[in-house]
């Protein structure tokens, strides 16, 4: 149900009856509430088509509008802007439909199957803030897409096959040369070998090994060689790599779980490797592989390119496959195993060129059309210096570290009258995650933003805690009114007319979010609806109102507002604590 699109259709008829043919008309919330709740500006552009002045068109249209009972208070302002209100009866009718079925405010779309690739955490390496953005935006887009009826499969697509893993194994070999994994004569079952390594160890080893590889050529050579051995499934090395993946994956799952992110598929890059032969065959058939300085590449530049698009590196000169190739393999795997209509990649905008190369090559191979693959890029979370957010000593900020920073702020803001000392840590964590996630979704996704912990955790302002606080308060009000009627609205009073109209505008917000692949509209909407509700709540003593009809109207409105907040917070994958 979307009353605005319904009205827009109705308006096309109205304009036609008045003698003007139009393809679309837009009923907009008015910028001048003193003149009307909504406005129609289309007479202005029609004036040039009909070689007449806009005011005359507006006058003719108004004559027709007046015959329609859903419009009231119709007037013309300036050179030809039409202002109007929707009749109370029409609003009551529609708001009660929403009361009965709030989920119907989200319009269903024609069904399609989408894979969303929004994990990308790298094995043996701590998740960082970039992974937060992928996961946070991706999970919300997935839930949004599901809410309109798409079939959606989220894939973690863990980075488990790149060169850095070769270095981790190299470093393990340095530190533990006696492990059976490095013993060529070992005949036992590697899966039974204990590895004296925790995830924390891996997170320490990874940067250490990458650094050493930069400084020490022999080390670098060995690391490359080991990567090659892993990629060619050499006994021992391959088994050790599998063990590392297992240890790291368990930790990665936990971190994603902490931020309310889950995947239908927990695949990694390496899961597509079994498609290597098949991909080689397709590539041979198309005859598009070119030798270049010992490497094998696929040319992807096009005539009209404004910037230089380099060839896609398929096999490196040392025989290992590139990051691009892991994506090609995964696309083939997805084609064969799932055959989706679309694939969305929620990945840092800075990987734009990578995806352009991969998409072009994929189309050349006849796997998917370019329109079926979409890179949904995002900007960076920056520090106050305008550069990607770092730790105090300039290191990469891990996701766990970031959550801790926010937690240290939310724990000080817990209301000690409501929350016991034992309950506080868990509640502060839920609020911290909400604060972080909400702040990350407020800006349009491609916009960089600055990490400001005090601002994000403030209970006032456009913040996660403000939305949670308002939602909890509505819930507690509803609990206190457990046996009171909240089933219908019989009157639209001025105190809450804006709120009703905002609620009825939700379908448009959902559509915009879907279209832009950005959650900022929804984050804003949550803030607006909470603000309007709080203004209303401050004015009216809902629970103790003696006029039963009024009380029922107010409670029903509270329930509907609460339901909408819950639905939208669930789309954003933000959890609401019982109290805070
Ligand atoms: N693992 C990669 C990284 O951390 C991100 C992977 C993004 N997804 C993809 N299909 N390439 O940069």
Would you state the pLDDT for residue 162?
75
Task: Return the closest-CA partner of residue 354 out of 402, 311, 409.
Answer: 311
pLDDT of residue 392: 86
Q: Is the distance from CB of 561 to CB of 503 less than 8 angstroms?
A: yes
Q: Report the C-alpha gap between 43 and 267 in whole angstroms.
A: 55
Residue 67 has pLDDT above 80, yes or no: yes
Give the per-residue pLDDT at 117: 98
DSSP annotation string for 123-190: TTS--BHHHHHHHHHHHHHHHHHHHTT-EEEEE--BB-SSHHHHHHHHHHHHH-TTSGGG-TT--S-G
Among residues of the chain, what percentage have pLDDT more than 90? 91
pLDDT at 318 over 90: no
CA-CA distances (angstroms) from residue 465 to 8, 227, 333, 450?
37, 46, 42, 18
Would you say 445 and 376 are in contact if contact means Cβ atoms under 8 Å apart?
Answer: yes
Distance from Cα 159 to the centre of ligand 1, integer Å? 6
* Contact (CB, 8 A) for 317 and 295: yes
Q: Can you list the alpha helix ranges (DSSP code H) found in 481-519?
A: 494-504, 506-516
Dist CA 140 CA 256 (whole Å): 13
User: Residue 413 pLDDT > 90, yes or no?
Assistant: yes
Q: What does the pLDDT read at residue 395? A: 86
Residue 394: band (very low, low, confident or very high) from pLDDT cuts 50, 70, 90: confident
Question: In whole angstroms, what is the distance from residue 138 CA to residue 519 CA?
Answer: 10
Q: Do the bridges between strand 38-40 and strand 27-29 make them parallel or antiparallel, or are there none, so unpaired?
A: antiparallel
Atom of ligand 1 nearest to the CA of 158: 1
Structure confidence by residue, pLDDT tens digits, 211-258: 999 999 999 999 999 998 998 889 999 999 999 999 999 999 999 999
Mean pLDDT of the chain: 95
> pLDDT by residue (tens digit) across 115-125?
999 999 999 98
| Percentage, residues of the chain above pLDDT 70 | 100
Could you identify the atom of ligand 1 that is nearest to the CA of residue 355? 11
3-state secondary structure of 239: helix
pLDDT of residue 161: 86
Q: Using a 6 Å CB cutoff, which residues line ligand 1?
A: 117, 120, 122, 157, 159, 327, 345, 347
Tell me which of 351, 380, 396 to substitute to probe ligand 1's pocket, judged by most ligand atoms within 8 Å of the beta carbon: 351
Rounded-to-integer distance, Cα 568 and Cα 507, Å? 12
Of all protein residues, the one whose alpha carbon is nearest to atom 2 of ligand 1 is: 120
User: Which SS3 state, helix, strand or coil, does residue 246 take?
Assistant: helix
CA dist., res. 462 & res. 438, Å (int)? 9
Whole-number Cα distances in Å, 101 to 104, 154, 470? 6, 28, 22
Identify the pLDDT of residue 489. Answer: 98
pLDDT for the residue 557: 98
| Amino acid 102: pLDDT | 97
Closest ligand 1 atom, CA of 330? 10
Instruction: Find residue 510's DSSP bridge partners.
Output: none
pLDDT tier for residue 192 given thresholds of 50, 70 and 90: confident
pLDDT in tens, 357-371: 999 999 999 999 999
Position 231 scores a pLDDT of 84
Contact 373, 345 (CB under 8 A): yes
Q: Kindly tell me if the per-residue pLDDT of 323 is higher than 80.
A: yes
Read off the pLDDT of residues 131-167 as tens digits, 9 standing for 90 and up: 999 999 999 999 999 999 999 999 999 999 877 889 9
The residues pairing with 345 across neighbouring beta strands, listed in sequence order, are 117, 375
Among 125, 135, 159, the mutation site with the greatest number of ligand 1 atoms within 8 A of its Cβ is 159
Q: Which ligand 1 atom lies nearest to the CA of residue 323? A: 11
CA of 120 to the centre of ligand 1 (A): 4
d(CA 84, CA 43): 14
In 18-162, where does DSSP find H-type helix?
42-49, 54-65, 88-100, 129-147
pLDDT (tens digit per residue) in 260-282:
999 999 999 999 999 999 999 99
Ligand 1 midpoint to CA 346 (Å): 9
pLDDT at position 1: 79
pLDDT digits (tens, 9 = 90+) for 512-543: 999 999 999 999 999 999 999 999 999 999 99
CA 178 to chain centre: 46
Mean pLDDT, residues 297-315 taken together: 96
Q: Is residue 52 exposed (0-12), middle (13-18) or buried (19+ Cβ within 10 Å)?
A: middle
Give the residue, by CA position, lying nearest to ligand 1 atom 7: 120
pTM > 0.85: yes or no:
yes
Distance 55 CA to ligand 1 centre (A): 56
pLDDT category of residue 346 using cuts at 50, 70 and 90: very high
């Amino acid at each position: 149900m979307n009353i605005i699109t319904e009205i827009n259709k109705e308006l096309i008829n109205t304009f036609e009856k008045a003698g003007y043919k139009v393809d679309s008309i837009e009923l907009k919330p008015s910028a001048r509430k003193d003149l009307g709740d909504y406005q129609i500006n289309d007479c202005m552009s029609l004036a040039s088509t009909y070689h007449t002045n806009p005011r005359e068109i507006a006058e003719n249209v108004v004559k027709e509008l007046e015959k329609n009972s859903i419009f009231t208070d119709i007037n013309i302002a300036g050179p030809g802007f039409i202002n109007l209100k929707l009749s109370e009866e029409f609003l009551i009718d529609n708001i009660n439909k929403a009361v009965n079925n709030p989920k119907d405010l989200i319009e269903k779309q024609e069904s399609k199957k989408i894979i969303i690739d929004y994990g990308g955490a790298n094995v043996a390496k701590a998740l960082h803030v970039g992974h937060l953005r992928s996961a946070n935006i991706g999970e919300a887009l997935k839930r949004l897409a599901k809410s309109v009826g798409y079939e959606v499969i989220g894939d973690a697509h863990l980075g488990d096959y790149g060169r850095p893993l070769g270095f981790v194994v190299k470093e393990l070999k340095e530190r533990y040369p006696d492990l059976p994994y490095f013993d060529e004569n070992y005949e036992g079952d590697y899966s039974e070998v204990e590895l004296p390594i925790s995830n924390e160890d891996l997170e320490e080893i990874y940067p250490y090994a990458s650094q050493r590889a930069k400084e020490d050529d022999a080390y670098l050579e060995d690391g490359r060689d080991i990567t090659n051995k892993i990629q060619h499934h050499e006994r021992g090395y391959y088994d050790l790599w599998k063990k590392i993946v297992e240890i790291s994956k368990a930790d990665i799952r936990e971190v994603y779980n902490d931020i309310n992110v889950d995947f239908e598929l927990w695949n990694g890059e390496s899961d597509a490797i079994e498609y290597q032969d098949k991909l080689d065959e397709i590539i041979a058939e198309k005859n598009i592989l070119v030798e270049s300085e010992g490497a094998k590449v696929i040319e992807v530049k096009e005539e009209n390119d404004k910037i230089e698009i380099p060839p896609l590196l398929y096999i490196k000169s040392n025989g290992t496959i590139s990051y691009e190739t892991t994506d090609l393999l995964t696309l083939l795997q997805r084609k064969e195993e799932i055959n989706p209509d679309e694939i969305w990649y929620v990945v840092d905008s800075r990987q734009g060129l990578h995806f352009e190369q991969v998409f072009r090559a994929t189309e050349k191979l006849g796997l998917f059309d370019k329109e079926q693959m979409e890179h949904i890029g995002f900007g960076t979370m920056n520090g106050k210096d305008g550069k990607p957010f770092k730790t105090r000593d300039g290191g990469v900020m891990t996701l766990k570290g970031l959550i801790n920073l926010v937690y240290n702020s939310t724990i000080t803001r817990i209301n000690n009258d409501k929350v016991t000392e034992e309950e506080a840590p868990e509640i502060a964590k839920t609020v911290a995650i909400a604060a972080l996630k909400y702040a990350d979704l407020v800006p349009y996704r491609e916009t960089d933003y600055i990490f400001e912990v005090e601002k994000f955790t403030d209970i006032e302002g456009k913040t996660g805690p403000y939305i949670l606080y308002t939602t909890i308060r509505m819930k507690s009000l509803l609990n206190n009114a457990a046996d009171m009627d909240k089933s219908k609205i019989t009157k639209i009073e001025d105190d809450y007319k804006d709120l009703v109209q905002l609620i009825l505008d939700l379908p448009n917000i959902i559509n915009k979010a879907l279209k832009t692949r950005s959650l900022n509209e929804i984050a804003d909407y949550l803030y607006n609806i909470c603000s309007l509700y709080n203004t209303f709540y401050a004015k009216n003593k809902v629970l103790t109102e003696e006029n039963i009809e009024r009380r029922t109207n107010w409670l029903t409105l509270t329930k509907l507002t609460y339901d909408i907040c819950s639905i939208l917070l669930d789309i954003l994958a933000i959890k609401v604590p019982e109290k805070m």
